[in-house]
Amino acid sequence: MKYVEKDLNDKKILITGGAGFIGSALAHYLQKEYPNASISVLDIFRDGSRFENGNLKSFGHFKNLIDFKGEIISGDICDRGVIEWIKDSKFDIIFHEAAISDTTVSDQNIMIKTNVNTFKELLEIVKDSKATLVYASSGATYGDAPSPQKVGVEMPNNVYGFSKLAMDNLAYRYIKKYPEIQVVGLRYFNVYGKGEYYKGKTASMVLQFGLQILNGEAPKLFEGSDKIKRDFIYIEDVIQANIKAITAKSGVYNVGTGIARSFQDIADILQNEFSTNLGNRYIKNPYIGRYQFFTQADISLTKEHLGYEPRFSLEEGIRAYKDEIKRVYESEYNR
């Protein structure tokens, strides 16, 4: 489905973080809908390195790019040489998905260097080249801010959310100083869908509960999960927002459904879809103080300026995703 009337077939497009979850979904979408576009993917593919929390430093995986026929570049967005390559390549559109997106990483130095400092380099490039820049921000900028969360009222409670807010503040400065540039930030809420398996422990609970259920286990939830609510958004709606952002007014916008659903809802919907009755396992939440207990995106400005309209409810998204969860379970999970 083409989300904008603008023809992108003659455009030179870069996707940073393009071997990750959202980046690879964008790559496949653009290749399918605009086969004559020149699409390049940049990613620091995983090498086994891990943060102090035990999680992988890179979620980039070659399997996310199987069937992608565009240019693939392995490189670190923090490297000066990579920045110079982006500058010299003169892209028309840059989708910036590369980031440390693990909310449990506590290394503030690497988080700011990777997420904030490199973003300023990209802003300098688009200032000079007039390329369109669409970048990934996050609902983590809000922390415990009142719901529904609105742009302008942020209370990040971890360094990841802080880094994304710093990116947004930089974007606003450049938009104000250089009104001729087009820079759009998308604050993703809780995204789930095909391609997230290689995120490991940071993959959505939709996938994690689904794999537990298919393995014959009762889904493991935090205590009080019927009251812990998030705005869960299916990957296809995230792609819709990114494509519509190409022609949108510069600014920062929420990307969610506008509806908060509980983790208990996810477990119950999955058991219904997989025709199981395994019950639930409840454990204490070890992340209290760094954990968002309620997120709900105010998407009124996103609708107004992007023409965005979420197409998938939680039930519809899980139904669309369940066959892929089965495939992952059968071909990856038990290997």
User: CA 57 → CA 86, 113, 141, distances in Å?
Assistant: 22, 14, 21
Instruction: Count CA atoms closer than 13 A to 168's CA, side-chain side.
Output: 26
Q: Is the pLDDT of residue 288 over 80?
A: no
Q: What is the pLDDT of residue 141?
A: 97
CA distance 252 to 78: 23
Q: Catalytic residue at 160? A: yes
Check if 199 is active-site: yes
Q: Which of 29, 135, 142, 160 is catalytic?
A: 160
When pLDDT is cut at 50, 70 and 90, the band that residue 55 belongs to is confident
% of the chain exceeding 90 in pLDDT: 85
What is the phi/psi pair of residue 224, to 5°? 75, 25
Per-residue model confidence (pLDDT) at position 201: 87
Average pLDDT, the chain: 95
| Per-residue pLDDT, 286 | 81
pLDDT at res. 57: 76
Residue 50: pLDDT above 90? no
CB 234 within 8 A of CB 317: yes
Q: Which residues contact 64 (CB under 8 A, 6 or more apart)?
A: 19, 20, 21, 24, 195, 198
Q: Can you tell me the mean pLDDT for 20-37?
A: 98
Task: Using the predicted structure, report yes or no on whether residue 290 has a pLDDT greater than 70.
Answer: no
- Check residues 333 and 312 and name the one with the higher pLDDT: 312
φ, ψ of residue 163 in degrees (nearest 5): -65, -40
Per-residue pLDDT at 41 exceeds 70? yes
Give me the mean pLDDT over the 164-172 stretch.
98
Which residue is catalytic, options 11, 194, 199, 229?
199
The predicted structure's pLDDT at residue 333? 85
User: Quick one: pLDDT at residue 144?
Assistant: 87
pLDDT grade for 289, boundaries at 50, 70 and 90: low
Section 184-209 average pLDDT: 96
Spatial contact of 17 and 95, defined as CB atoms under 8 Å apart: no
In order of their start, the domains of the chain are 12-330 (3.40.50.720)
Residue 202 has pLDDT above 70, yes or no: yes
Does position 323 have pLDDT exceeding 70, yes or no? Answer: yes
